Amino acid sequence: MVSLNEIITSVMNFIMLNLKFFIQVLIIPGLLFILLFVTFAVWFERKYLARAMLRIGPLYAGRISGFLQPIADFLKIFTKEIIVPSDADRRLFYLAPMLLPVIQALTIILIPFAPDWVVFRGSGFSLILFFAISGLAPLFPLIAGWASNNKYTIISSLRTAYLCIAAEIPLLLSAVGVVILTGSFDLIEIVEAQSKMWFIIPGFLGAIVFFIGILAESERVPFDIPVAEQEIVFGWRTEYSGILFMLTMMAEYIGLLSWSLLFITLYLGGYQGPILFGMPLVSHMFWVLVKLAVLTAIIILFRTVFPRFRIDQAIKIGWKYLIPIAIVNIFIAIIVKTFFPSII
């Protein structure tokens, strides 16, 4: 009979063997980082919105400036009752909010935080893998909308499908511009190629299209049509309560995290940046986190400045304006690659 401490010792040396992998999965680009980012993003958005509305925002939850507010929300929701509508499809009703954050978090494993600090190299095709995984994400609002058997959610899930059509193609085309500049699909090589100059300068048009595509994919304000409170109560999240509702809210912020990380790797030179007092690994991660903070702050700023598009306007923007600009950006990339290769 295998004794208890034998099992423990074998598990321990398995962990010691590939310690780096466990740190990556559990700590930095993994679980702890995502949860901390979601908590901070929720607090930052509520405080930032309150400032824009000349208000104070959450204050008494954490004595200093309400920084424990998301934790208070989580504790309350954790003990709330989960209501499943009687004529809803039970299995799909539970499935959709559970898998959505998983899928969106899955895309973060491909993002390099340092030259050798990436969970899965993707054998040279990590950009295509990223788009393949994130292409699954709009599927789950459809399932949730259909399963909760409510008129608002059906309309909202159809709108998610429309929005995904409008935003996917411009995103892919602008990513093609970057691939032409570097000549490879591997995210690490893309970041290495930006050591001299970030791609936002030569591929500026592509950066704009990609940014608008991010807003549409992660359903941030000018494009938060599927979750339009004013028309369809809470979009496809209407019927969820308790921990399922918290999972859908987390999915929104994880989507924002994964798409802004991709924007940083493609256009803002990933982990490039001056090495700070001799520790390359930490400084690389530091630069990624700084760029991430700046980018998410800008995206959250949009919530206070813009009203919302109609779904037909969003599709018109996606097809009529973004795709031609993306194609023009591809031509510019080709010209830059052939005639002035020295810039990159």
Partner 1 sequence: MSEKSSKQVMRISWGPQHPMSGQVRILIDTDGERVLNIIPDIGFTHRGIEKILENRNIVQGVVPIERMVMVDTANIALSYVRAAEEILGIEPPKRAQYIRVIICEVCRILSHLYGFGLAAEACGGYPAVFLWSTADREPFLDLMERITGTRWSYSFFVPGGVYADFPDKIKEKFLATLEYFEERLEAYRRAWFENKIFESRAKDVGILKPEDAIRLGAAGPNLRGSGVALDVRKDEPYEVYDEIDFRVITQPEGDSYARLMVRYLEMVESVKIIRQAIENMPSGPYRKFVSPLKRLPKGEAYSRVETARGELGVHMISDGGTKPYRIKITSPTLRNLYVVSQMPKITEVLLADVPVILYSFDPWYLDADR
Partner 2 sequence: MTKKNQTRRLIVWDVFNQVYKKIIGWGRKYSLWPAHFITGCCCPEFMQVAGPRYDMERFGILPLPSIRQADVLVIIGVLTRKMASRVKMLWEQMAEPKYAMAIGACPIDKGPFYDSYSVVRADEIIPVDVYVPGCPPRPEAMIQGFMILQKKVEEGV
Residue 310 identity: R
Q: Which is nearer to partner 2, 44 or 234 (CB)?
A: 234
Rounded distance between C-alpha atoms, residue 75 and residue 79, angstroms: 7
- Report what 231 binds from partner 1, partner 2, none; CB cut-off 5-8 Å by kind: partner 1
Residues that bind partner 2 (CB under 8 A): 46, 50, 53-61, 66, 68-69, 71-83, 229, 233-234, 237-242, 245
Quote the distance between the C-alpha of residue 28 and its chain's center: 16
Rounded distance between C-alpha atoms, residue 76 and residue 71, angstroms: 9
Q: Which is nearer to partner 2, 53 or 279 (CB)?
A: 53
Q: Which is nearer to partner 1, 90 or 151 (CB)?
A: 151
- Report what 221 binds from partner 2, partner 1, none; CB cut-off 5-8 Å by kind: partner 1
Letter string b/e over residues 152-165, b meaning 16 or more CB atoms within 10 A of that residue's CB: bbbbbbbbbebbbe
Q: How far is the CB of 233 from partner 2 (least distance, A)?
A: 5
Q: Taking a C-beta distance cutoff of 8 angstroms, is the pair 198, 267 a contact?
A: yes
- Report what 306 binds from partner 1, partner 2, none; CB cut-off 5-8 Å by kind: partner 1
**Tokens 């309150």 belong to residue:** 50
**Tokens 């807003």 belong to residue:** 215
Q: How far is the CB of 146 from partner 2 (least distance, A)?
A: 17
Q: Taking a C-beta distance cutoff of 8 angstroms, is the pair 74, 67 a contact?
A: no
- Report what 80 binds from partner 2, partner 1, none; CB cut-off 5-8 Å by kind: partner 2
Rounded distance between C-alpha atoms, residue 210 and residue 333, angstroms: 15
Q: Which is nearer to partner 2, 160 or 265 (CB)?
A: 160
Rg (C-alpha) for the chain, rounded Å, is 21
Q: Which is nearer to partner 2, 226 or 269 (CB)?
A: 226
- Report what 135 binds from partner 2, partner 1, none; CB cut-off 5-8 Å by kind: none
Token duo for residue 264: 């940083």
Token duo for residue 15: 């962990």
Q: Taking a C-beta distance cutoff of 8 angstroms, is the pair 154, 235 a contact?
A: no
For residue 264, give Cα distances in angstroms to 179, 269, 272: 15, 6, 10
Token duo for residue 110: 């491909």
Q: How far is the CB of 241 from partner 2 (least distance, A)?
A: 4
Helix (H, G, I), strand (E, B) or coil at 232: coil
Strand locations in the chain (E): 233-236
- Report what 201 binds from partner 1, partner 2, none; CB cut-off 5-8 Å by kind: none
Q: Which is nearer to partner 2, 38 or 200 (CB)?
A: 38
- Report what 245 binds from partner 2, partner 1, none; CB cut-off 5-8 Å by kind: partner 2
Residues that bind partner 1 (CB under 8 A): 49, 52-55, 151-152, 155, 221-222, 224-225, 228-231, 233, 304-313
Q: How far is the CB of 53 from partner 2 (least distance, A)?
A: 6
Q: How far is the CB of 41 from partner 2 (least distance, A)?
A: 16
Q: Which is nearer to partner 1, 121 or 308 (CB)?
A: 308
